[in-house]
Amino acid sequence: MSDDIDDEIVEPIPHPGHRDRVELLVHIKGKGQRLDQYIHYYLQDYSRTDLQDAIKNGSVTVNGKPSKASYKVRNDDALVVLLPEPTHSLPQPEDIPLDILYEDECVVLVNKPWNMVVHPAKGNWSGTLVNALQYRFAQQLALGNGALRAGIVHRLDKDTSGVILVAKDDDSLRTCCMQFEARKVFKEYIAIVAGELDRDSDYIEAAMKLHPHDRIKMIVSKDADAKEAVSYYEVLERFKGYSLVKVQPKTGRTHQIRVHLQHVGCPVLADKLYGGRNQFTLRDIDPKVSAENDEILLARQSLHAHRLRFKHPKKGTWIEAEAPLPSDMRRTLELLRLHRPLR
């Protein structure tokens, strides 16, 4: 599973008193996956090879019995994993500024900047959100998902900015993860896209699966193994050749918003994976601008997690946070209004 994930839950439940033991309950969306694939999805701190070895030596049980890596998990299977020793060092605290949108004794809502990976993984062992959280909150982070993902409830792409939820204790982590699993968390994104959508608002209902040849890319598919994916969009502003849209994903598939917008012919700007280009410049808006005076407006996909609403894990009250649009997207919109208005 790629680290570039629009919005995915992470839900291992630590066994009381045992940090090296994790329990997982298989939900419907995991049904049919190989056992090694399923546990690797939730335990990405460990390589798939390490987890396959753990399965071989009996350190993973399914409903109380050892199993094989090729076993296809079923809904409500109870998995217990005795974790192997990590092969890399734990994340070190780093003094990286954090934009805190909300904080109490249980949860923190952070406005994550683009170009920040959420948690350490291969190729990104420092400079992550977890490194910053370790410095800011020290021991006040849930460890149910392991030290490499301390406090992390869900993820955003490295280059997606916006609201992300962090849990301070394991009970809060578990409760928040269950809300994501049950699709009870309201998520709203804002994107600037190439093209003009036919309708002012609509649902995009297009099942998705992993690309057969590109392991970091998702595609829309009608194959039996494709998973349901639904997004609701509203056009906020129209320009000549471009649109500003608000998107509310009803499911949480990998890269869902980016794939769905590409599917309807309006890829997110500066999204190399699904739009073919990794930047958007002033000359794209105004071809009359000389090469010398050109300006890179977007050096990352123009996608922002604008709003998140969920129930407080202890109080049961609704908590909502909104992250203001980042400067690169604001600047792009100003220039679109100036050079590409609809008359």
Pairing status of strand 78-82 against strand 60-62: antiparallel
Give the DSSP letter string of 110-165.
Answer: EEEPTT--SS-BTTBSSSSHHHHHHHHHTT-S--TT-GGGTTB-B---TT-EEEEE
d(CA 195, CA 241): 5
Please check whether residue 5 is in contact with residue 255, taking contact to mean a CB–CB distance below 8 angstroms. yes
Q: Which of 244, 233, 303 is nearest to 270 (CA)?
A: 303
Residues 6+ apart with CB under 8 A from 343: none
Amino acid at 303: L
Is 157 designated active site? Answer: yes
CA atoms within 13 A on the CB side of 76: 0
Give the DSSP letter string of 310-330.
Answer: EE-TTT--EEEEEPPPPHHHH
Catalytically annotated residue among 4, 45, 157, 328: 157
Question: Which H or E run includes 56?
Answer: helix 48-56
**Active-site annotation, residues:** 157
